[in-house]
């Protein structure tokens, strides 16, 4: 049985929530959903490009939340986040929880070839060294990244956001993973939609950085409406190849869904592709510049993250949040 969460409990003076510039819109909406003030961060950029970020209000002995993402420009955003965490640590914040809706460098999670770095681990080390005491992420590219940290990491499941949306459409979809690595994620989404045995997997091979080749489709998509579900759309190459392969196998409607829509090569390739019916992403990164595209639907994480932040403030379970969120959206 889901617990009723008391919104007023979140109005607690020991908590301060900041939104970094690149996540300000989402941060504002989270604040509205839990009736809590979101504070901006003062930022100075020096002539040589160095940054200085700091808080205008005291954080002494407080529990601080930073809503942020480290998408493009990845390196600047990471550095700004680290500098801000450092400023909070030196201002005597008691706890610093980084609500990192997109984790840049997550895809560099292992040595894929000799002499390569594991940058996802380096980022984890940097966050801890700066002073983070907890990380809340959503759909980390590889859930094992949680283990790169010696502090708690909540890797939230985006499937709850997508299942709420797809359920509301009253249609049947076959969920398709664009590669073998995403099969578990696709299966979980399919199970939340109550058609768990019907998934398909694209047999994809990486041929170089940001390049891939499709070898085939495992599963039956003929005459079905499909949702290709990935964690990240970066250049869009993986997904567009997958769309073509599914159409060749007789798929009817093709919806593309991904938690993190980076769209590094813009959105035109989707808008102008007759085989793509719709693209659904979350606001884990900012999409203000893409709002006029007709095929793009953006699902907000605000309510969900609001509930998660409340659960942290109120010391209650995140599992209950999943239930509560699911029930509110049935």
- Minimum distance from residue 259 beta carbon to ligand R5P (Å): 10
CA distances from 9 to 14, 15, 27, 322, 323 (A): 11, 11, 19, 19, 19
* Residue among 17 and 140 whose Cβ is closer to ligand R5P: 140
Are 312 and 128 in contact by the 8 Å Cβ rule? The answer is: no
Q: How far apart are CA 38 and CA 33, in angstroms?
A: 11
Clarify whether 252 is annotated catalytic: no
H-state helical runs in the chain: 24-34, 74-90, 119-130, 159-167, 183-192, 237-248, 268-271, 302-314, 318-328
* Contact call for residues 222 and 248 (beta carbons, < 8 A): no
Q: Which is nearer to ligand R5P, 231 or 273 (by Cβ)?
A: 231
Q: Which two tokens stand for residue 94?
A: 């008691």
Shortest distance, CB of residue 114 to ligand R5P, whole angstroms?
Answer: 20
The least CB distance from residue 193 to ligand R5P, in Å, is 21
Strand partners, 98: 66, 135
Closest approach, Cβ 235 to ligand R5P, in A, equals 3
Please choose, from the candidates 308, 138, 164, the residue with its C-alpha nearest in 3D space to the C-alpha of residue 232.
138
Identity of the residue, 94 or 205, whose beta carbon is nearer to ligand R5P in the bound complex: 205
Nearer to ligand R5P, 107 or 121 (CB): 107
Separation CA 82–CA 127 (nearest Å): 6
Residues making up the chain, counted from first to last:
330
* Minimum gap (Å) between residue 210 Cβ and ligand R5P: 5
Binding site for ligand R5P (CB under 6 A): 107, 178-179, 181-182, 210, 230-239
Q: How far is the CB of 179 from ligand R5P (least distance, A)?
A: 6
- As a whole number of angstroms, the distance between CA 153 and CA 74 comes to 21
For the chain, the maximum distance between any two Cα atoms, rounded to a whole number of angstroms, is: 60
Choosing from 204, 224, 244, 274, the catalytic residue is 204
256, two tokens: 């593309």
Q: Annotated catalytic sites, by residue? A: 204
């Amino acid at each position: 049985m889901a617990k009723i969460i008391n919104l007023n409990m979140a109005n607690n003076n020991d908590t301060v929530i900041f939104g970094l510039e690149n996540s300000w819109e989402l941060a504002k909406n989270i604040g509205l959903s839990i009736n809590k003030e979101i504070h901006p961060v003062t930022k100075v950029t020096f002539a040589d490009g160095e940054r200085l970020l700091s808080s205008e209000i005291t954080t002494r002995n407080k529990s601080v939340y930073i809503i942020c993402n480290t998408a493009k420009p990845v390196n600047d955003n990471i550095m700004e986040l680290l500098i801000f965490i450092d400023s909070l640590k030196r201002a005597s914040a008691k706890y610093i929880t980084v609500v990192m809706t997109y984790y840049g460098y997550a895809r560099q999670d292992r040595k894929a070839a000799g002499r390569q770095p594991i940058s996802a681990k380096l980022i984890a080390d940097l966050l801890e060294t700066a002073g983070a005491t907890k990380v809340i992420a959503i759909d980390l590219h590889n859930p094992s990244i949680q283990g790169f940290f010696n502090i708690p990491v909540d890797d939230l499941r985006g499937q709850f956001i997508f299942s709420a949306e797809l359920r509301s459409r009253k249609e049947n979809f076959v969920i398709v993973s664009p590669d073998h690595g995403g099969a578990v994620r696709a299966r979980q989404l399919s199970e939340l939609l109550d058609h768990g045995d019907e998934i398909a997997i694209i047999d994809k091979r990486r041929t170089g950085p940001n390049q891939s080749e499709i070898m085939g489709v495992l599963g039956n998509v003929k005459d079905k409406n499909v949702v290709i579900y990935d964690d990240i759309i970066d250049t869009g190459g993986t997904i567009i190849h997958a769309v073509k392969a599914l159409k060749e196998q007789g798929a009817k409607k093709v919806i593309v869904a991904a938690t993190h829509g980076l769209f590094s090569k813009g959105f035109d390739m989707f808008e102008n592709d007759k085989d793509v019916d719709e693209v659904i992403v979350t606001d884990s990164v900012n999409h203000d510049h893409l709002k006029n595209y007709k095929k793009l639907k953006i699902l907000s994480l605000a309510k969900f993250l609001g509930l998660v932040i409340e659960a942290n403030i109120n010391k209650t379970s995140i599992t209950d949040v999943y239930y509560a969120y699911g029930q509110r959206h049935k």
